[in-house]
Structure 1
Amino acid sequence: MRVRAVLLRAGSPFLQLWWRIRKPTTFGVKALLRRPDGRFLVVRHSYTDTRRWALPGGGYNPARETPAQAAAREVHEELGLLVPPESFTSLATVVTTLQGKHDTLTTLTASVSDDALTLSPEIAEARWVKDLRELGDAPLSKWLLAALIK
């Protein structure tokens, strides 16, 4: 499993360069997972900006799945959590060129009762927190901050 994380980390700069040159149209989701006690999940990815706390998520093909289905799939793949697509509600959809691609990004939220995580190689660390101050002065994702304001 660690080999996959190393490959992701090594390939990430080339993928980002490809996006800047090719400027593809992509679709992505971010998932804000909340617990009944007020905690929410933050992750650090293993392949890009490994210090930055962010939301789990990833890309999807809108011809094959909805944003809620994609969020459920990504949460299961990255964290081992089974969250039904109908549990997700949309917070916002934005179009961004932040990484050089034309990305339609939907942020969704869901309440979860299970907080036992099984991390994929894509995730370096995951934490349930009540307050961002628990993360110290580590950088925070723009999408994480925007989701918490909604």
Structure 2
Amino acid sequence: MRFRAMLLRAGSPFAQLWFRVRKPTTFGVKALLRQADGRFLVVRHSYADTRRWALPGGGYKPARETPAEAAAREIREELGIALPPSAFTVLDTTVTTLEGKHDNLTTLTATTADGGLRLSPEIAEARWISALEELDDAPVSRWLLRAVGR
């Protein structure tokens, strides 16, 4: 598992370079998971910006799945939480070129009673928090800030 995280970290700069050269159109999802008590989940990925707290998520192919199906899949793969696609609602959809690609990013939210996490090698750390201040001034992704602000 640790080896897979090292491979992800090593490959990240090459993926970033490919995005900048090719400028592909991609589709991605981010998921804001909440619990009934108001806490929400933040993660640090094991690749790319490993210090920044963010939302779980990933890429998808619109011909194969909807954003809600992709969010449910990513949450299951990365965190071991099984939620049906119907549990997710769209918070926001935006187009960004931040990583050098033309990324269509959909942020969704869902509530879960399952607080137990089984982290994949893609996730270095995950926490349920009530407020961003609990992260002690650590860097936070713009998508996390945007989702929590809604």
**What is the letter of the counterpart of residue 139 of structure 1?**
P
- Local SS of the residue matching 1:29: strand
User: What is the TM-score normalised by the length of structure 2?
Assistant: 0.99
**Aligned residue number for residue 62 of structure 2:** 62
- Local SS of the residue matching 1:27: strand
Structure 2 residue ranges without an equivalent (≥5): none
**Aligned residue number for residue 111 of structure 1:** 111
Number of equivalent positions: 150
Question: Offset of 1:33 from its aligned partner?
Answer: 0.1
Q: What is the alpha-carbon distance in structure 1 between the residues aligned to residue 64 and residue 116 of structure 2? A: 29
Cα RMSD for the two superposed structures? 0.4
After superposition, what is the alpha-carbon deviation per residue over 1:9-55, rounded to whole angstroms, capped at 9, x for unaligned?
00000000100000000000000000000000000000011100000
**Aligned residue number for residue 86 of structure 2:** 86
Q: Percent identity, please.
A: 74
**Aligned residue number for residue 148 of structure 2:** 148
Runs of 4+ off more than 6 Å: none
**Aligned residue number for residue 100 of structure 1:** 100
**Aligned residue number for residue 12 of structure 1:** 12
Q: What is the alpha-carbon distance in structure 2 between the residues aligned to residue 28 and residue 83 of structure 1? A: 18
**Aligned residue number for residue 133 of structure 1:** 133
Q: What is the alpha-carbon distance in structure 2 between the residues aligned to residue 136 and residue 97 of structure 1? A: 29
After superposition, what is the alpha-carbon deviation per residue over 1:113-132, rounded to whole angstroms, capped at 9, x for unaligned?
00100000000000000011
The answer to whether structure 1 residue 73 and structure 2 residue 77 are counterparts is no
**Aligned residue number for residue 37 of structure 2:** 37
Map 1:44-55; keep pairs closer than 5 Å: 44-55=44-55
User: What is the TM-score normalised by the length of structure 1?
Assistant: 0.99
**Aligned residue number for residue 28 of structure 2:** 28
Structure 1 residue ranges without an equivalent (≥5): none
Q: What is the alpha-carbon distance in structure 2 between the residues aligned to residue 6 and residue 91 of structure 1? A: 32
- Local SS of the residue matching 2:78: helix
